[in-house]
Structure 1
């Protein structure tokens, strides 16, 4: 799905990408709010997103896209390349951040890499060195995304699903979906098991975990 407020750019990208083997542009929209609505309905494999558009802020658009279509990869294509902003977008879990002056071949390569490698994060901006360690370590962040690790940090602090939802500005249903995905990635059977496995693997920092009753632990999968 293409998201950009310049119609002529969307038309050009649509024609170019539809000509690539294995690619199909399922929608193109002009602002973040419509992107979220379209993603909820279409669940695209990848969203190519500009961040300088009318409507909701870019960070909120990325968060809502991840919420309504968790399996969609988000790749930013923008003229805005402030290192601080790029770092913020990477921390939100985008799979790529590209300047609009990249070549068509490079864009296609990044899209294919984002779809074929669950851990790859690709950045192509004029001064990637200014990003510090973020771009260099993004590929090696492990089996959990930055968003999943942040959520699991809150689980480790014994916050309930409702408290986590309020802290992150998402719904309890979204928290449960994230936990389901985390359990599957870590082979965990409960919240405490997931926290322990993530801490043992160095994915999240050690933190005290509130004790739960035997019944709660046994029912962990059903409640989450």
Structure 2
């Protein structure tokens, strides 16, 4: 018997984007959009009526002073649900504070659709980390006036990096994720290019410093060096 669909609510004040996301997600097998809203005041009543598994929320539509209260009510209220934040805001302190509250993930609106649907589908999994995708920032010594428009890590790439940080070999990662070992190698090659990394250890350390993965996921330098 196939699993029940993932029930999703979309909350975004930009009508065109919200309606486009609803239309796209409704075409995905195993995903059902059960509601949408462009108003924060309507979100909790909508969640109470529809009982979604996941709320995709543009945190920018929520007043800063009420974000923590809203998220706590979504994450721990009745009914409780996962929250995936989708936003144009690129503020590390904000991202970390939301992750600390327990959101499922934080995606910058510069991502591609495949990254979003990957994050939606993983909301049912028991995970020791959260999905985070932000534009890569310049090095700390670089002076700039705004966020970098550099490349991004997909949800799958973050997942592979997290397993690499736990010192799993390519074969172990492939078995864990149910994909081919060659696919893992291809993802790692793409990760090295995006992060300008020269090794798994270098990629893991750079990903941790950019908060794509949590530093606590890194096991040991010695084990990372020998994992292949």
- TM class by shorter-chain length? 0.5 to 0.7
Deviation, 1:137, is 2.7
Deviation, 1:127, is 3.1
Q: Is the 1:74–1:95 contact (alpha carbons within 8 Å) kept by the matching residues of 2?
A: yes
CA, structure 1 residues 43+118, in 2 after alignment: closer, same or farther (shift >3 Å)? farther
Q: Does 1:51 align with 2:128?
A: no
Q: Is the 1:73–1:114 contact (alpha carbons within 8 Å) kept by the matching residues of 2?
A: yes
Q: 1:101 — aligned with what?
A: 110
Q: Is the 2:10–2:36 contact (alpha carbons within 8 Å) kept by the matching residues of 1?
A: yes
Query: 1:65-101 deviations in whole A, cap 9, x for unaligned?
Result: 1233454110000000200000000001101100011
Deviation, 1:64, is 1.8
Q: 1:111 — aligned with what?
A: 120
Q: Secondary structure at the match of 2:13?
A: coil
CA, structure 1 residues 96+83, in 2 after alignment: closer, same or farther (shift >3 Å)? same
Q: Secondary structure at the match of 2:86?
A: strand
- Of 73, 76, 97 in structure 2, the residue corresponding to residue 88 of structure 1 is 97
Deviation, 1:119, is 3.6
CA, structure 1 residues 37+67, in 2 after alignment: closer, same or farther (shift >3 Å)? farther
Structural mapping, 1:135-146, within 5 Å = 135-137=212-214
Please identify, of 83-92 and 24-33, the stretch whose mean Cα deviation from structure 2 is larger.
24-33
Write the distance in 2 (CA, Å) between the matches of 1:112 and 1:121: 13
Which blocks of at least 5 consecutive residues in structure 2 are unaligned? 1-8, 138-205, 218-228
Give the root-mean-square deviation of aligned CA atoms: 2.6
Q: Does 1:39 align with 2:47?
A: yes
Q: Is the 1:39–1:68 contact (alpha carbons within 8 Å) kept by the matching residues of 2?
A: no
Deviation, 1:135, is 4.9
Q: Secondary structure at the match of 2:32?
A: coil
Which blocks of at least 5 consecutive residues in structure 1 are unaligned? 141-224
Q: Is the 2:129–2:213 contact (alpha carbons within 8 Å) kept by the matching residues of 1?
A: no
Write the distance in 1 (CA, Å) between the matches of 2:73 and 2:54: 14
Q: 2:84 — aligned with what?
A: 75
Deviation, 1:37, is 1.4
Query: 1:172-221 deviations in whole A, cap 9, x for unaligned?
Result: xxxxxxxxxxxxxxxxxxxxxxxxxxxxxxxxxxxxxxxxxxxxxxxxxx
Q: Does 1:6 align with 2:14?
A: yes
Count of residue correspondences: 140
Q: Secondary structure at the match of 1:25?
A: strand
Write the distance in 1 (CA, Å) between the matches of 2:67 and 2:55: 13
Q: Is the 1:113–1:120 contact (alpha carbons within 8 Å) kept by the matching residues of 2?
A: no
Q: 1:60 — aligned with what?
A: 69
Q: Is the 2:75–2:103 contact (alpha carbons within 8 Å) kept by the matching residues of 1?
A: no
Write the distance in 1 (CA, Å) between the matches of 2:59 and 2:98: 10
